[in-house]
Structure 1
């Protein structure tokens, strides 16, 4: 599919909207009531610190809603205002936050059913309004909705669109896109749909496996049949159809899911650059390696703020955000790598009643910890993912204060 041509035709359609409806002032009150917090505003003004009895709360200096998320949520509210009676769908969660999605359900916004990772569009009819979430939708989904005669409201974050443009440039120049991301994440699925030949790597360890395979071809040698088989078994669900590592790893470019750990994306880029330099030499490097900066500014700011926060003396850390939120998970990783007792929760209701917390340790299932707060003076660090409203952070802090007073 010529994705560029399809995008141009879609953007010129009178059934496609990516700018909103000019109803910002009309929905501002609803957004403020649902998501903003006077307490959080006062904590920001007080140097991101709150003292309450034995409890000292330290907020990260960048957390919560980013501009792209604010834009997506506002556009969803505007869409309901603009289409008061029409049937409105979202192809997935608007963002990875349960409270925000619940608010939209209360506004009679419908969510596409997903079973075993496959979306069921059978109930979507011509004339229905369909909102594409902040992390985008695949080309195939957009094409289906367009052909069905739906009105499409596209809230895709511009930073995600920037990555799409990058992989389209790779495709134009017959370069394989190495995408640092999670294979089944909505954003990575969308990005790979815009790519030509691609390979998704989860982390630096997987990137190293790919680079080892590339270097196995140095000096006229070729990877063994066993090496090739092992490679394809490892990446069979993470590559484009017909992917051939012997052919498709000769020219590569790096892109990423915008919510991955910034430092790891940068290291993966440097690793591939060093690998292609070693494989082909400095004179031919530019013919075999292409790098673009596709790291989201907001993701970077929140990770930098988290690194600064965990450098302070803390007794424990609370990270707030959806359990399927990639950027929130990486904030939790930062705390864990520093050896800080850290708890990832998706809603304030995970705290209490009494001195307990239900949280999700990294890479495992939910578990309950009781007692949660230790006795004596207590320093608690708090941050939240880019999909978490200030009102949710306020409710978490209020519950912590209540526990500390008990």
Structure 2
């Protein structure tokens, strides 16, 4: 896979050495057991896969290269480059301006843009409507496009099944930039509806079976369906695609549920299901799959608690938290700065969108065992920062450098 020129401030010699060692031992990526970092009084179980993915590194490389090669020019991002506050803050410090926030609220009016301005499309991609808006202003929407190729793969899949007269059901968060972009691209080819979770998929299923009147659809799926969507005809042939960072098990469950309804409604078998249910396979990106599989592999072992590092508005990170929360106390933090002391930690409750202040989060007994992972938009340097912060509470600060030297010399 291609390597990218990512700023050194996001790199970690320790994490790089650990990842290289695991890659040598498991080139086919079939071993999802965690890496044990045994520091004596502190044991850290580090997930097999975590951190920057292909799409994130590609976006960061393009953004920083664009800044470097265009001194004096006004540079804008449509919205956050990725869902990591540290990376976005670094871009802002370099003079980049955000045109919108993550919800789509306009921060810089379109009329303020000029044809010689540079506008970078973030990794999530953007809608066809915004592309047209940029073109009308004399700004090319493709010249500085960092859309993740795995997101584009979903668009292509939606287009392919749309051309065969299947309606597209998108499993995604309706307000997320990526889902808004996928929805826009899909609705130009075929009727499209977004379901946020299994609960909404079940409601959609009730429309498919006639258990709910079609007149209820507009209110229940407001803002989540394409113009002219006909509940009575557009749900007879369907296919499911997803926002690339959703929980893999939930996407599969939704696809299986919808397929089951279709098969029952039209008396189809597995052999004939394709007549009305498109085979979309899994449209999650490789990193989402790997990171979630790595967390599941990590959870097969025992630990006192889990720490997940990443941006609080990061979808892929929140799903890692969700997996960990099912098994043990879990703390979702954006960096080591949230670990205030060996007794206090600030952490994000993504269910209620609030930061919590918890006491006595570390176990009193030793050795303490902590599971650690991060989202696909989180720099490895932040993960190393968490490891070093934890080591200070046990008087083991020197152990991080010793381990890095040992790994690099072996």
Fold conserved between structures, TM > 0.5: yes
User: Which residue of the other structure, out of 133, 138, 141, is the alignment partner of 1:149?
Assistant: 138
What is the alpha-carbon distance in structure 2 between the residues aligned to residue 235 and residue 175 of structure 1?
A: 19
Structure 2 counterparts to residues 38-187 of structure 1, below 5 A: 38-44=13-19, 45=21, 48-114=35-101, 117-119=104-106, 120-151=109-140, 152-187=143-178
CA shift for structure 1 position 77: 1.2
Which deviations, in whole Å up to 9, do the C-alpha atoms of 1:109-154 show, x marking residues without a partner? 2111439633343432211111111111111111111221124400
| Stretch of structure 1 that moved more, 232-241 or 314-323 | 232-241
Counterparts of 2:97 and 2:219, CA distance in 1 = 38
Provide the residue aligned with 1:206 in structure 2.
200
Aligned match of 1:219: none
Structure 2 equivalent of residue 361 of structure 1: 349
Is the aligned partner of 1:35 residue 2:16?
Answer: no
User: Residues 148-207 of structure 1: CA distance to partner in whole angstroms, max 9, x if unpaired?
Assistant: 112440010111001111222233233211000000000000000011211111112221
Name the CA distance, whole Å, in 2 between partners of 1:354 and 1:211: 49
Is contact 2:238-2:277 (8 Å) kept?
yes
The answer on 1:228 being equivalent to 2:218 is no
Q: 2:230 aligns with which of 208, 221, 244?
A: 244
- 1:10 corresponds in structure 2 to none
Q: What secondary structure, in the 3-state scheme, does the structure 1 residue paired with 2:233 have?
A: helix
User: Are the aligned partners of 2:246 and 2:315 in contact in 1 as well (CA < 8 Å)?
Assistant: yes
Check if 1:318 corresponds to 2:307.
yes
What's the secondary structure of 2:349's corresponding residue?
coil
Q: Which residue number corresponds to residue 393 of structure 1? A: 383
Q: When the two structures are aligned, how many residues end up with a matched partner?
A: 371
- Supply the distance in 1 between the matched residues of 2:127 and 2:103 (Cα, whole angstroms): 17
Q: Normalized per residue, which structure has more helix? A: 1
- Structure 2 counterpart SS, 1:212: helix
In structure 1, distance between residues paired with 2:330 and 2:102: 32
- Secondary structure of the residue aligned to 1:404 is coil
* CA distance in structure 1 between the aligned counterparts of 2:287 and 2:310, rounded to whole angstroms: 15
The 3 A distance-change label for structure 1 pair 115 and 65 is: closer
2:278 to 286, 290, 300: 290
Instruction: Indicate if the aligned counterparts of 1:64 and 1:388 stay in contact, CA closer than 8 A.
Output: yes
Distance 1:115 1:290 in 2: 31
CA distance in 1, matches of 2:15, 2:129: 41
Residues of 2 paired with 1:113 and 1:121: CA distance? 10
2:55 partner SS: helix
* 8 Å CA contact retained: 1:373, 1:404: no
Q: CA deviation at 1:254?
A: 0.8
Q: Does 1:346 align with 2:337?
A: no
Using the TM superposition, name which of 291-300 and 326-335 deviates more: 291-300
Partner secondary structure for residue 245 of structure 1: coil
1:210 positional shift = 1.3
Local SS of the residue matching 2:340: coil
Cα offset, 1:234, TM superposition: 1.6
Aligned equivalent of 2:31: none
Cα distance change, pair 48–115 in 1 and its aligned pair in 2 (3 A):
closer
Q: Structure 1 residue 230: deviation in Å?
A: 3.6
Could you give the per-residue CA deviations for residues 74-97 of structure 1, whole angstroms, max 9, x where no partner exists?
111111122122111111111110
In the alignment, which residue of structure 2 is the partner of 1:215? 209
State the shift of 1:405 in Å.
Answer: 3.5
User: What is the RMSD computed on CA atoms of the aligned residues?
Assistant: 2.2
Distance (whole Å) between structure 1 residues aligned to residue 200 and residue 343 of structure 2: 41
Native 8 Å contact 1:43 1:49 kept in 2: no
Give how far 1:32 is off: 4.3
Residue 100 of structure 1 deviates from its aligned partner by 0.9
| 1:391 counterpart SS class | helix
Q: TM-score, normalised by structure 2?
A: 0.85
Q: Which of 171, 186, 190 lines up with 2:181 in the alignment?
A: 190
SS state of the match for residue 130, structure 1? Answer: strand
Paired with 1:124 and 1:255, the residues of 2 have a C-alpha distance of 34
Task: Report the TM-score, using the length of structure 1 for normalisation.
Answer: 0.86
